Structure 1
Amino acid sequence: MAVLTDDQVDAALPELNGWERQEGALRRSVKFPEFLAGIEAVRRVAERAEEQDHHPDIDIRWRTVTFALVTHSEGGITDKDVAMAHDIDAIIAE
């Protein structure tokens, strides 16, 4: 799987809700109305990640959850990361 070019990542970003490129990864922070809502979203994302065998880095700070996506084995952002970002967006929107 090839690492996406900067232009390819830039083209994908407008279709992703709140994602940005930071430090070589796609990142999105979401503030939930309560701590347990964030934990539940993380649980659902974890299930999807297991299904796809592609796991985001997840940082939980009280009600704010930050997801970071990069394909470490490829050394950058790939189509798998963009697809997982779309999946996370759908889960958050539920």
Structure 2
Amino acid sequence: MTEEHPLSAEQLTERLADPRLHEWRHEDGALRRTVLAPDFTTAVRMLDQLVEDAARLHRTPNVAISGRTLDFSVAPPAGGSGSGTFSEEDVELCRRIEYAVGTRTGVE
């Protein structure tokens, strides 16, 4: 297990102000973003690209896929001393999701 780098609420707000993360919102205890891919195949390829990055970060985003719509949710891991607290690793996962989304053309 890797060391966690917890963020205060103010630090999280600062991280989400990054222009690369402008589509993310902090809602219901999670960081959320919806992506509309050009088609179902592209949506699945986005997920495929993300799998190894998520494993390296020891993070697993929640993903709901319906047709070409992907709903991503990144929540802090349950348990531990920082339970319920977002970390640098959670924000990095959001960045990796953005990278996977951004490498596909025509994505909203």
- Per the normalisation by structure 1, the TM-score is 0.88
- Structure 1: where are the runs of 5+ without partners? none
**Of the candidates 34, 37, 40, which is equivalent to residue 39 of structure 2?**
34
The one-letter amino acid of 2:14's match is: A
Matched-pair contact (CA < 8 Å) for 2:47–2:100: no
> Residues 68 and 82 from structure 1, CA distance in 2 versus in 1: closer, same or farther, beyond 3 angstroms?
same
Q: Which segments of structure 1 move beyond 6 Å, counting only runs of 4 or more?
A: none
Q: Partners of 2:5 and 2:96 in 1: how far apart?
A: 20
Partner of 2:11: 8
Q: Partners of 1:29 and 1:46 in 2: how far apart?
A: 18
Question: How well do the aligned residues superpose, as a CA RMSD in angstroms?
Answer: 1.5
Partner of 1:70: 75
Greater per-residue helix proportion: 1
Number of paired residues?
94
State whether structure 2 residue 85 is matched by structure 1 residue 82.
no
- Structure 2: where are the runs of 5+ without partners? 104-108
Q: Percent identity?
A: 26
| CA positional deviation for 1:3 | 4.0
Matched-pair contact (CA < 8 Å) for 2:46–2:101: yes
Q: Partners of 2:8 and 2:56 in 1: how far apart?
A: 26
Partner of 2:106: none
| CA positional deviation for 1:50 | 1.6
Matched-pair contact (CA < 8 Å) for 1:59–1:67: yes
- Per the normalisation by structure 2, the TM-score is 0.78
Aligned to 1:28, what secondary structure does the other structure show? strand
